[in-house]
Amino acid sequence: MTTVAIVYHSGYGHTEVQAKAVHKGAASVSGITASLVTVEDATANMDILKDVDAIIFGAPTYMGSASAPFKAFQDASSGAWFNRHWKDKIAAGFTNSHSMSGDKLNTLMQMTIFAMQHGMIWVGQAEMNQSPDGEPGQADAINRIGSFLGAMAQSENAAPDITPPSGDLKTAELLGIRVATLAQKLHS
């Protein structure tokens, strides 16, 4: 059995919807056990992550970088870093924010450097923008924001059952599928 953990923070529920889409994708791969873990739980007990094969990091972008609880999780992982507990695990990341850019790329870069500190293997988003006319920004299109370092979602100022839109959730699901598939190949 190959295991994938999705470790995320969400202040108001929007990034949680995105995390659930990543989880749906990972769990849909045959032979994968996927789990959703909040950064609060992981920060309190880092051993939750010691034996999983892949970790997908998720956080909203607040003030141009990952939200503070996610950073607290990063800092709390220094023991796992010192003991190389996450070395050679697959890693990936996702983020959500209000603006189309909102400096989400900085959050994904923060996650990438974090994963590299841990000696992990970073997996990005493989899908190109799949709008019917190839134009960016269409709400039901896969990778409408054109992010390749990880999955991006954009949320309006509305409830999490309305936003982020379907295309961003499908994009997140595809990241989960990709990570789970590669983790299984690496650990078989």
Ligand X SMILES: Cc1cc2nc3c(=O)[nH]c(=O)nc-3n(C[C@H](O)[C@H](O)[C@H](O)COP(=O)(O)O)c2cc1C
Q: Which residues bind ligand X (CB under 6 A)?
A: 10-16, 60-64, 96-99, 102-103, 155
Q: Using the minimum distance from each CB to ligand X, give the nearer residue, 25 or 58.
A: 58
Cβ neighbourhood burial of 9 (10 Å; 0-12, 13-18, 19+): buried
Nearest distance, CB of residue 65 and ligand X, angstroms: 8
**Smallest distance, ligand X to C-beta of residue 105, A:** 11
Nearer to ligand X, 77 or 95 (CB): 95
Nearer to ligand X, 25 or 102 (CB): 102
Residue with tokens 């990091």: 57
Question: CA dihedral in degrees (109, 110, 111, 115; nearest 10)?
Answer: 100
Report in angstroms how near the CB of residue 27 gets to ligand X at its nearest. Answer: 21
Distance of alpha carbon 170 from alpha carbon 118, whole angstroms: 28
CA distance 140 to 166: 5
The DSSP element (H or E) to which 5 belongs, if any, is strand 2-8
| Choice between 59 and 182, CB closer to ligand X | 59
Comparing every residue's Cβ against ligand X, the nearest one is: 102
- CB of residue 157 to ligand X, shortest distance in Å: 7
